[in-house]
Structure 1
Amino acid sequence: MKARVTVMLKNGVLDPQGEAIRHALGSLGFAGVNGVRQGKVIELDLASTDAASAEVEVKSMCEKLLANTVIESYRVEIL
């Protein structure tokens, strides 16, 4: 079973990488981009065959390692 975790900075947290991307896009002629938030995607290949238990396990991974929950939020998808 596969899982995908999307981790993003929480709203209100300064995103300097997103701002750098927005600026670079403007320099390349993409003037209509008013904001960019940059994040990360983590794909996991799990041994579990039960979607519910896999989701619980992946959320635990996020809380302990994959996301800094003070400044980041995450979304788990079981594929």
Structure 2
Amino acid sequence: MKIKKEILNSNDFQYHFKRDIYYNKLSKKIFSTEIIQDNTEDWLVDKIQERNNTGSWQIYFNDGCTLEMKNELISELDRSC
């Protein structure tokens, strides 16, 4: 996980302790710690580098993310500095 954290940090992802996620407001991507642990470093790099043309947040969780949870996350991250 140490190398994966370095990958995330070098790509300006921040850790959200309460939610146990890594997020980047500029690329609008959210990764759960669980999905990071369950996938390879190459997978993580591919997803980070994958272009987000949607204009909305891309959320990567193992078990998906309910609409309610997605809305909470987005609202919380959009409000924070």
Is the helix fraction higher in 1 or 2? 2
Structure having greater relative contact order (Cα 8 Å, sep ≥ 6): 1
- Larger CA Rg, structure 1 vs 2: 1
The structure richer in strand per residue is 1
The answer to whether the superposition gives a TM-score over 0.5 is no
Q: TM-score range by the shorter chain?
A: under 0.3
TM-score by length of 2: 0.26
- Per the normalisation by structure 1, the TM-score is 0.26
